[in-house]
Amino acid sequence: MEELMHILTENCPDIDFETETALIDDGILTSLDLVMLVSELNDVYDIEITADDLLPENFNSAQAMLALICRLREQ
Amino acid sequence: MSINSAAFLLFLAVSTAAYYAVPRKYRYLVLLAASAYFYISYSLQAAGYLLVTICMTYGCGLLLGRSHRKEKEMLSAVEADRKSVKQRFRHTRRILLAIVLTANFSTLALFKYLDAWLEGMSGLLTRLESTVAFRPLELLLPMGISFYIFQTSGYLIDVYRGRQQPERNFLKYALFAGYFPQMIQGPINRYDKLHPQLTRGNEFNADNLKYGIQLMIWGMLKKVFLADPLADAVAEIYSNYTAYPGASVFLGAALYCVQLYCDFSGGTDLVRGASRLFGVEMEENFRRPYLAHSVDEFWRRWHISLGEWMKDYLFYPLALSGPLSRVGKASRKRFGSYFGKLTVPCISTVVVFLVVGIWQGPGLSNIAYGLWNGGLMSAAMLCQRPIGTIKKRLNLSEEKRWFRGFQIARTCFLVIIGRYFSRSDSLYDALRMLWRTVRCFGQGGLGVNVLIGFGLSGSDWAKLLIAGAVLLAVSLLRERNIDIRAALERRHWLLQFVLLFAAVLLLVVCVYLNSDYTAIMYVYENV
């Protein structure tokens, strides 16, 4: 989780990933943020997040992102 | 049947009465019958094209759903080699989706661009001194073809991604694809939001009736008192720009921005209001775009349903595709972390706006329009950090009112320049208009003479200014989260009645009892 939080805050320093739980629903993460973040996550964790995975439930919080990463790494 | 006509209002009243007269279970059939009547009365041929699209996408949805089901069954039966099972099914689904989407968008391209291509080919052959020539086919562009093509394609992609279950009931699916209010001005509705509202059989609710009528009136007022009076003046400037000073040309482009907004958003309000009569709330398509602080924000407020569609079904798949991911990796190595990361979003943005430009119509001017917007958005992304630093140093903040005003003015200016391209007959004309604006801005002196000669009299201008001031005031209030409709609700019923009556009377006198009034077709009626 620490590594993920580091990536998130580095990419989007103005967003409070500790507490936010509606990053997509409330429009806090923009499409630009999301694309930059996904490419970074794909690189760091050696996974393939595709457009099909870009659901609000996968990106609404740091916890949800971690769950997605774990799921994709298992596959 | 024009949506401003008395015939449409009568059709709407009969449909609404019939909708609430039948049991809830069958109400969707009333909407389907009304949609079929509306579309067939427009053109039987166009209704045939719509039916083909409905059948094709309905069948494809079922096949995609079946593939998902079979995959699940197989996965639960096998332990090993699950990955190859998944890949096999995904591959089949991808091919099926690609075939149907290609057919869907080819239909759109055929209707929109075939004649332009044939004309271009003929011109080329004439230059080569060939005797072969192609005659334009002059195909009827079916009403709302873009809206139903985009909407059914979005549905298929959602089913492909496993986000939606396919609709098995053909009639319910046909209603989703051909619901009559959305055929005129959009918006491009999403299956998960629209379909349940259409098929559940909505209870009668007096508020829906009241809000629906209010929204329709507001939309008609925008069209009748702003968009229509400006249409001729704008056409005059764009077709005879060489006869006007640069300032008038710029003013003409600015007026076109107002005309287009009032036409498109007015039409959208009207159809959203009509839909509300049946208890069906369609998505908001405009959120006061000319009060945006940046071009990026403008596009999040203008034709919202198209922007959302493009984001979900083109921008994301493109930005996260294999080839662009590789480009992103390479550019991060080459340009460093910050600018490298921006390469992919910039490329994807330009491609998306290029598609939007091409969708607007054939011709290089539309491509230039797409590139202008895509280029501006990409430049804004690339300059975000340096501009942020400058703003900090100069202590510029959006909390300062003058700075917000400057940002809005700058955005409007950039949008107006873009409209030189989207409204011109050709790229050559757009560039000449721009050149004239710069070179001959004050030719003949600036002042009242800039305004005259558009075909508008002094009283026309006065009416336009009053209508524009009302629209601006309402927009500013809504921007401050002041809901005028809710505020009116709290007032005495007599005041509410008088205001509604005055608006209706204004429309009746100026439109339905006015023999001089000729309804002007909506700009986006045939796209």
Using one digit for the tens of pLDDT, what is the confidence trace for B455-478? 777 888 888 999 999 999 999 999
DSSP code of B166?
P
pLDDT digits (tens, 9 = 90+) for B247-272: 889 999 999 999 999 999 999 999 99
Average pLDDT, chain B: 90
Kindly list the residues from chain A whose CB atom is less than 8 angstroms away from the CB atom of residue B83.
75
- Taking the C-alpha atoms of residue B197 and residue B202, their distance in angstroms, rounded to an integer, is 7
In sequence order, which residues have a C-beta less than 8 Å from that of residue B400 and are 6 or more positions away?
none
* Token representation of residue B81: 């080699």
pLDDT for position B76: 84
- Taking the C-alpha atoms of residue B99 and residue B102, their distance in angstroms, rounded to an integer, is 5
E strand or H helix at B336, and its extent? helix B322-360
CA distances B352 to A59, B119, B171, B370, Å, are: 23, 27, 33, 8
Q: Percent of chain B, pLDDT > 90?
A: 59
In sequence order, which residues have a C-beta less than 8 Å from that of residue B162 and are 6 or more positions away?
A52, B68
Here the ipTM equals: 0.88
Amino acid at B164: Q
Kindly list the residues from chain A whose CB atom is less than 8 angstroms away from the CB atom of residue B329.
43
CA distances B236 to B192, B249, B328, Å, are: 44, 10, 47
**Residues in B lying within 8 Å of A, measured between beta carbons:** 83, 161-163, 311-312, 315-317, 319-320, 325, 328-329, 341-342, 344-345, 348, 381
**Residues in A lying within 8 Å of B, measured between beta carbons:** 31-32, 34-36, 38-40, 42-43, 49-52, 54-55, 75
Cβ contact B181:B283 at 8 Å? no
DSSP code of B202?
P
Kindly list the residues from chain A whose CB atom is less than 8 angstroms away from the CB atom of residue B350.
none
φ and ψ at residue B492, rounded to 5 degrees: -60, 145
Longest Cα separation, chain A = 33
pLDDT digits (tens, 9 = 90+) for B473-497: 999 999 998 888 888 888 888 888 8
* Token representation of residue B206: 């007096």
- pLDDT bucket at B526, cuts 50 / 70 / 90: low
- pLDDT bucket at B186, cuts 50 / 70 / 90: confident
DSSP code per residue over B251-294: HHHHHHHHHHHHHHHHHHHHHHHHHHTTT--PPP--S-GGG-SS
Cβ contact B524:B186 at 8 Å? yes
